[in-house]
A and B are shown apart, each in its own frame.
Chain A
Amino acid sequence: MATTLKPVDAVIVGFGWTGAIMGQQLADAGLDVLALERGPWRDTSTDFATGFAQDELRYMWRHHLFQNVSDDTLTIRNNTSQTALPMRHLGSFLLGTGVGSGGVHWNGQIWRFLPSDFLTKSHNEQRYGKKSVTDYDLTVQDWGVTYEELEPHYNSFDVLCGTSGKAGNLNGQVQPGGNPFEGSRSAEYPTPPMPQTYGPTLFGKAAAELGRHPFPHPTGNLSQPYVNNLGAQLGACTYCGFCEKFGCGNYSKASPQTTVLPYLMAKPNFTLRTECEVLKVELSPDKKQATGVTYVNSAGEEFFQPANIVILSSYILQNVRLLLLSGIGTPYDPATGQGVVGKNYAYQTMSSVNVFFDDKLINPFIGAGALATVVDDFNGDNFDHSGLGFIGGAYIAGMVTGGRPIEMIYTPQGTPAWGKAWKHAAAKNYLRSFSLSVHGSCMSHRGNYLDLDPTYRDIHGRPMLRMTFDFTDNEHKMSDYLTDRAAEIAKAMNPREIKLNRRIGSWSVVPYQTTHNTGGAIMGDSPANSVVNKYLQSWDVHNVFSMGAGAFPQNAGYNPTGTLAALAYMSAQAIVQQYLKQPGPLVQA
């Protein structure tokens, strides 16, 4: 039987980026805060020190920092006619675990979504007609929050991370050197952009020649040392080329460890427990309020932790599963379109173009997670979609995250995957090749959703989450169009040859694409179309707040972290300024 613990003001379930941000905000408001993390404690000098952080085998291929799927996985299928089977090995996405979680092994790509991204339904409907948002069974929605409302909170995250970049739109004025398409920023980036290496520089030149608008990627790999608003310090990046899938050994990548924990862990009213997995959010008999959470630790002991506020800040797949297991909200039914929990699961539509030179040493090992020159001319609704047959878009980045040889050796079209020809191609091209990344949006679709698997159960006997997902024609058309745009720039770089890696066929769990899973606990303006309101508060259980990209009604053509962090800040502000004074729904249904 579960042991009942001393009540706390707020319990935080999962201690990655949003858990850390909520912990800091709520502890600063004087609440007694407890965070529960199912993975272990991790910190820079002991767990990803410079002396061993650059380990491609251990981290990328042996998943040392990732969620261990032997403990907990999900089942997957492309459509409802298939039987979902367990994801037996990580591939397409690399889930985090442990303190800092994905915030430890991310690339540090810090984006804001476009103002029009928050109005996917109404904006496209207005510009391209009703059909544009219902074709292909799309189920896109407006977010219920605007860019303008989120802007101060985007800014809070930039100040926390010390984001390196160049503003393209400062208080409505377009700025040279930045992204002219971005929403208006209230402040310049805290630190200047990273100096670019050869590949991104060549990309920028070629893009500009084509009339595009290249700018340096905004990044949490810092260009110079920085002290944030909490006094936490970050160093300047040394371009070691081991960001994504790795922890940063020299404090130069923004992470919960570098930006929040030094401050938060020192607060007397904050406690963290590791190796504790929350099984369920417990509800009052009328199901209108959470009473706390039940969790089990690695010693197999079960506890009930009473709490006035429950913050779900685990990864979206886990958040959605907890909502379903706890009976919070109505599960989505793709057959009827009714229900909301699990609805509008989406992903990211990735493709790339490889560029091969004879005469130029790219030196790809000089890299960083967000070391790139980017064009945003074909993202969101930055271009006219009339007659194109799709909505959405992508940024195109000439990017060098590193030159890790097991994963990142590019070989020309037609090269076999092994044997002498492969080896010679690897030896010839490694230092002289480069990749353009096409980072596409993914609209939501009636048949893409999350629910509980009827067959497979986890170690605790709970049903696994079941993911039903495939790319729709909208995504394929968008991706093809964007990959062609990338190829134009690639050719303008005057290489020996290029290779197009298009997004072809159904979604597969095997090749790594990106860990940008979204939706399932979406936000919106009414309980009929969403799980949470714009403050990420459950419509059904007012003291449960569900963080993360699960709130995205569909995914934009950017990395999600900046937006999910901004949403967390906005939620925290609403809790502190409104909810604590008068607990109850922050938005009337």
Chain B
Amino acid sequence: MDKPKLDRRHFLLGSAVAATAGVAGALGAKVHDGELGAPPRTYQGGVPWQEGLADAPPGVSGTDYKFFTAAEREFIEAAVSRLIPNDEVGPGAVEANVPFFLDRQLAGPFGRGDHYYLGGPWAKGAPEQGYQSRFSPAQMYRAAIGAINKYTHANHNGADFAKLSEDERDALLKDFEAGKVQLEDGVDAKAFFTMLLQNTKEGYFSDPIYGGNKDMGAWKMIGFPGAHYDYREWVSRHGEPVPFPPVGFKGRPGWNSET
């Protein structure tokens, strides 16, 4: 892949934001997702095609954490296990491997804010104006986890958020959700909560190729067949259960064994 001469990533993140990034690879983006990233091309004479070419999904491999520190991981597990707790109905967020999903998301293009405009000037803005933080998601998580622990240290006898009881964590999360807590270090608690809840549901319900939704447990719980493409035979079979077992981009157990 050619590196574009005009690297907007560098330009935008420039000094102000990138300096505080603290995220490995924050400046490593070579090609922009979507536009003005690939080399300019001229097409003439027909629809182009090349064998074997695929804009395949950016799935993850391995099991190691790349973004969260051990303490941050504890925080995340303590938080997402409350957002989606484990019980007999279905897996919890931790059981579905959502913390790992979040780690890999934050270590990659999403964490870098590849799809966020992060240039200044920055103002708080009205709620209708949406996300107005100067933080990329990775910066937001890092700063928010720090600020929340500072907050619990001050208000819960020096304990980290992760050490609080389930009820205490639930109460705090509700306060974040309602915008009732003021955090330090420029962190908007409600903005962080909104992002964390959204990303948690993403990790819970997205294709397992991204590291979450372990064993497609979340899909099994609700009855979503996943990446199945042809339902023609079922269109007119109103109200009947559809028998397809959930499948991800990389398959399901039946692809590899006869059971």
Interface residues of A (CB under 8 A from B): 38-41, 43, 45-52, 54-58, 61-71, 73, 76-78, 82-83, 85-91, 97-98, 195-198, 201, 236, 238-241, 249-250, 261-262, 265-266, 268, 270-277, 296-301, 360-361, 363, 365-366, 403, 405-406, 409, 417-420, 422-424, 426-427, 430-431, 455-456, 459, 506-510
Is B99 at the interface (CB under 8 A from chain A)? no
**Which of A40, A69, A299, A510 has the most chain B CB within a 10 Å cutoff?**
A40
Shortest Cβ gap from A34 to chain B (Å): 9
Q: Which of B103-131 contact A (CB under 8 A)?
A: 109-110, 113-119, 121, 123, 125-131
* Inter-chain contact A76/B129, CB cutoff 8 Å: yes
| A58 with B205, Cβ < 8 A, contacts A69-B115, A76-B129 known | no
* Selected contact of B35 from candidates A275, A299, A423, CB within 8 Å: A275
Q: Which residues does chain B contribute within 8 Å of A298, judged by CB atoms?
A: 4, 6, 36-40
* Inter-chain contact A271/B40, CB cutoff 8 Å: no
Q: A55-B206, A71-B32 are in contact. List 13 more A-B contacts (CB 8 A).
A: A57-B206, A68-B32, A87-B129, A89-B117, A197-B236, A266-B45, A273-B43, A366-B234, A366-B235, A366-B242, A405-B205, A424-B89, A508-B128
- Can you offer 29 A-B residue contacts whose CB atoms are under 8 A? A40-B38, A46-B49, A52-B55, A64-B34, A68-B36, A70-B117, A71-B34, A86-B117, A86-B119, A87-B129, A88-B118, A89-B116, A89-B131, A201-B238, A240-B228, A265-B47, A273-B41, A274-B41, A298-B6, A298-B39, A299-B5, A361-B240, A363-B242, A406-B202, A418-B173, A423-B90, A456-B119, A459-B12, A508-B128
Is B254 at the interface (CB under 8 A from chain A)? no
Shortest Cβ gap from B154 to chain A (Å): 25
Query: Which 9 pairs from chain A and chain B are nearest by CB?
Result: A300-B6, A297-B40, A57-B206, A430-B222, A68-B34, A198-B238, A39-B35, A508-B128, A405-B205
Q: Which residues does chain A contribute within 8 Å of B168, judged by CB atoms?
A: none
Q: Which residues does chain A contribute within 8 Å of B38, judged by CB atoms?
A: 40-41, 274-275, 298
* Inter-chain contact A239/B37, CB cutoff 8 Å: no
Chain A, residue nearest B114 (CB): A70
The total of chain B residues at the interface (CB under 8 A) is: 94
Give A57 to B205 CA distance when docked, in angstroms: 9
Beta-carbon contacts of B224-259 to A below 8 Å, as 1s and 0s?
111111111011101111100000010000000000
| A271 with B202, Cβ < 8 A, contacts A41-B48, A58-B58, A299-B4 known | no
Q: Which residues does chain A contribute within 8 Å of B231, judged by CB atoms?
A: 238-241, 365-366
Chain A interface SS verdict (over half): loop
Is B155 at the interface (CB under 8 A from chain A)? no
| A88 with B41, Cβ < 8 A, contacts A78-B126, A405-B218 known | no
Give A363 to B241 CA distance when docked, in angstroms: 8
* Selected contact of A54 from candidates B114, B173, B200, B229, CB within 8 Å: B229
Interface residues of B (CB under 8 A from A): 4-6, 8-9, 11-12, 32-50, 53-58, 82-85, 87, 89-90, 109-110, 113-119, 121, 123, 125-133, 170, 173, 177, 197-198, 200-202, 205-207, 210, 218-219, 221-232, 234-236, 238-242, 249
Q: Which residues does chain B contribute within 8 Å of A423, judged by CB atoms?
A: 84-85, 87, 89-90, 221
* Inter-chain contact B54/A46, CB cutoff 8 Å: yes
* Inter-chain contact B8/A70, CB cutoff 8 Å: yes
Q: Which residues does chain A contribute within 8 Å of B85, judged by CB atoms?
A: 419-420, 423
* Inter-chain contact A510/B205, CB cutoff 8 Å: no
Give A511 to B6 CA distance when docked, in angstroms: 32
Chain A, residue nearest B236 (CB): A195
* Inter-chain contact A262/B57, CB cutoff 8 Å: no
* Inter-chain contact B129/A85, CB cutoff 8 Å: yes
Give A409 to B82 CA distance when docked, in angstroms: 19
* Selected contact of A55 from candidates B36, B39, B207, B221, CB within 8 Å: B207
* Selected contact of B42 from candidates A46, A90, A272, A360, CB within 8 Å: A272
* Selected contact of A510 from candidates B8, B45, B128, B225, CB within 8 Å: B128
Q: Which residues does chain B contribute within 8 Å of A507, judged by CB atoms?
A: 128
Q: Which residues does chain A contribute within 8 Å of B223, judged by CB atoms?
A: 430-431
* Inter-chain contact A97/B117, CB cutoff 8 Å: no
Shortest Cβ gap from B149 to chain A (Å): 21
**Which of A239, A405, A419, A506 has the most chain B CB within a 10 Å cutoff?**
A405
Shortest Cβ gap from A222 to chain B (Å): 12
Q: Which residues does chain A contribute within 8 Å of B115, judged by CB atoms?
A: 62-63, 66, 68-70, 89-90
Give A324 to B225 CA distance when docked, in angstroms: 49
Give A87 to B236 CA distance when docked, in angstroms: 43
Give A63 to B110 CA distance when docked, in angstroms: 10
Give A509 to B45 CA distance when docked, in angstroms: 41
